Structure formats: structure tokens, C-alpha cells
């Protein structure tokens, strides 16, 4: 199977690359810049690294399409994301805009741009956050991050509806509270555990589960 993963140089994305390679899949690791950890996996015949893919760039899909030639995508994982700290009750416009571009607009437009390489049986999985859940928001703050992940969820559900006739399911998964640089190393689980659970959710993804919001541990989350 051909698997394409954004934000693959570190964190959860890097562990997704590692797990899919261990399963023998062909992995196309997209990133802005590679890392020593990702380079260390490059001895695998099954790994192709494509640098210079900023998901917020309008050129991103063209760059990926050129790299893939006519080859189809079996699994597309939109993993790249940012979380910016905000002063209490004083988020900057730039911070909110950046998070909307990277976390919501970019992944949706990149997926639309890659539709020529998706077909019946292909799967799309978006890495969202339960911080984008309006029902689950009991602590406030994080305006830009919460708004961006809620927007991503809305776009992903539209994609799920629009791609249903083509037989392409769209998954929406919260990885858990994961020890990566995004959380300053804090979290309930490490990135390898999160990647394993996310891949279980990808394996489980079906047309019936398309457009629904799951925790990587398998539980369904409220919008
Ligand atoms: N960790 C958690 O507890 C947690 C919880 C809920 C949801 N998530 C979500 O899980 C996903 C992965 O997060 P993580 O914890 O692995 O974070 P991370 O360690 O900070 O990694 C983020 C990844 O996204 C990439 N990225 C950032 N901006 C990008 C852009 N404009 N274009 C392309 N790539 C970009 C980064 O690449 P660079 O090195 O180039 O910056 C990096 O590879 C994100 O969508 C995040 O929102 C994480």
C-alpha cells in the first residue's frame, strides 16, 4: 500500500512513518525539512522523503502530485499541525490566522488537490484534537488552536459527505495527549503508542465510520 503522511519529520508523524514501514508499506514522508531521525529510516527501500511541503502553501498539492507521478494513494494522513501559546484573553490576529492556515485550510485544500490520486478504497485520515470539540470545551482559552481544529473538523465532515459516492472514507482522529514537542514533552502516551493507535483507527476506517470523530483509543468524541 502507498501511504502519504504530512509533517513526518518528528513527533507523531515520524512514528507513523516508522510503524507503516515496519508493516512493509510504501511510505511517502512529506515534510518542510527532514530530520536526522527521518533520514535514519531512509535506508528502507520503501521510504521516499519529499521535503519542501508546507501544508499552508498553495503549491503543496502540485509539489506532491509531481513527486507521485501517476501513482495512486491508498492512505493519506494529514498529520502536520501547530499549537501556538496565547496571552490570556489576548490572542494575536497573526497567531489565530497561522493556526487556521496550517491546521484547517492547508490540510483541506491539500486533500482536495490530491483527489486525482484518490479512488474507491483510498482512505483519508485527519489528525485533529479534542480541543476542537465545542461540546468538550470546559476550560476555554487557546482561541486559535481550538478554532482551527473545529474548522478542520467541519471541513473533514464535508469531505466525508462529498467523497462518499466515490467510496473514499474520511477519518477524524484525536491522537490523545501525546509526549511531543507540541506539548513540551508532557502527555499520557508517547508518540509511538499514539501512532500505533492511529493506525488501528485507519485500519478500522470504513464508509460507516467516515465523518465521525474518534479518539485514537477507539472511543467516539462529541463535536
Ligand atoms: N501531541 C498532542 O498531544 C496532540 C494532541 C491533539 C492533537 N495533536 C495533533 O497531532 C498532530 C501531530 O502533532 P505532534 O504532537 O506530533 O506535534 P509536533 O511534534 O509539534 O510535530 C508537528 C509536525 O507538523 C509539522 N508542521 C508544522 N507546521 C507545518 C507546515 N506549515 N507544513 C508542514 N508541516 C508542518 C512539523 O514540521 P516542522 O518540523 O517543519 O515544524 C512537525 O513535523 C498535529 O496535527 C496536532 O495538532 C497532537
Could you list the active site residues?
Answer: 145
Is there a domain that residue 192 lies in?
yes
Over 90: is that where the pLDDT of 44 sits? Answer: no
Listing DSSP states for 92-158 in one string gives -HHHHHHHHIIIIIHHHHHHHHTGGG--TT-EEEEE--GGG-STT--S---HHHHHHHHHHHHHHHH
Element (H, E) at 219: none
- pLDDT mean across residues, the chain: 97
Query: pLDDT above 90 covers what percent of the chain?
Result: 97
Element (H, E) at 20: helix 11-22
Over 90: is that where the pLDDT of 48 sits? Answer: yes
Answer whether 79 contacts ligand 1 (Cβ < 6 A): yes
Burial 190-215 (b: 16+ CB within 10 A, else e): bbbbbbebbbebbeebeeebbbbbbe
Position in ligand 1 atom list of the atom nearest CA 103: 45
Is there a domain that residue 220 lies in?
no
Is there a domain that residue 221 lies in?
no
Is there a domain that residue 200 lies in?
yes
Over 90: is that where the pLDDT of 45 sits? Answer: no
Which of 182, 195, 201 should be mutated for ligand 1, with most atoms under 8 A from CB? 182
How many structural domains compose the chain? 1
20: confidence class by pLDDT, cuts 50, 70, 90: very high
pLDDT for the residue numbered 85: 94
What contacts 127, CB < 8 A, 6 or more positions away?
A: 12, 77, 78, 79, 81, 173, 175, 198
Is there a domain that residue 35 lies in?
yes
In whole angstroms, give the CA distance from residue 204 to residue 2. Answer: 17
Is there a domain that residue 222 lies in?
no
* Structural domain of 205: 2-215
Is there a domain that residue 223 lies in?
no
In whole angstroms, give the CA distance from residue 194 to residue 199. Answer: 9
Cα of 115 to ligand 1 centre, how many Å? 23
Nearest CA to 179 out of 189, 169, 171, 167 is that of 189
Is there a domain that residue 46 lies in?
yes
Please give the average per-residue pLDDT across 30-41, as a whole number: 98
Can you give the CATH number for the domain in which 91 is found? Answer: 3.40.50.720
Position in ligand 1 atom list of the atom nearest CA 32: 40
pLDDT tens, position by position, 115-169: 999 999 999 999 999 999 999 999 999 999 999 999 999 999 999 999 999 999 9
Amino acid at each position: 500500500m502507498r501511504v502519504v503522511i504530512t509533517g513526518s519529520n518528528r513527533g507523531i508523524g515520524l512514528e507513523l512513518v516508522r510503524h507503516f514501514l515496519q508493516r512493509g508499506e510504501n511510505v511517502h514522508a512529506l515534510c518542510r525539512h527532514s530530520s536526522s531521525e527521518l533520514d535514519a529510516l531512509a535506508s528502507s527501500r520503501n521510504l521516499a522523503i519529499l521535503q519542501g511541503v508546507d501544508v499552508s502553501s498553495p503549491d503543496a498539492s502540485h509539489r506532491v502530485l509531481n513527486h507521485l507521478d501517476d501513482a495512486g494513494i491508498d492512505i493519506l494522513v494529514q498529520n502536520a499541525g501547530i499549537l501556538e501559546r496565547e496571552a490570556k484573553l489576548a490572542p494575536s490576529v497573526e497567531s489565530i490566522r497561522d493556526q487556521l492556515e496550517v491546521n484547517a485550510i492547508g490540510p483541506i485544500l491539500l486533500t482536495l488537490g490530491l483527489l486525482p490520486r484518490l479512488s474507491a478504497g483510498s482512505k483519508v485520515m485527519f489528525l485533529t484534537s479534542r480541543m476542537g470539540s465545542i461540546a468538550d470545551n470546559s476550560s476555554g482559552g487557546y482561541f486559535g488552536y481550538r478554532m482551527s481544529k473545529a474548522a478542520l473538523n467541519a471541513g473533514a465532515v464535508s469531505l466525508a459527505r462529498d467523497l462518499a459516492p466515490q467510496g473514499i472514507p474520511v477519518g477524524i482522529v484525536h491522537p490523545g495527549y501525546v509526549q511531543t514537542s507540541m506539548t513540551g514533552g508532557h502527555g499520557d502516551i508517547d508518540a509511538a503508542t499514539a501512532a500505533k493507535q492511529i493506525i488501528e483507527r485507519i485500519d478500522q476506517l470504513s464508509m460507516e465510520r467516515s465523518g465521525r470523530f474518534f479518539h485514537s483509543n477507539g472511543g467516539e468524541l462529541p463535536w
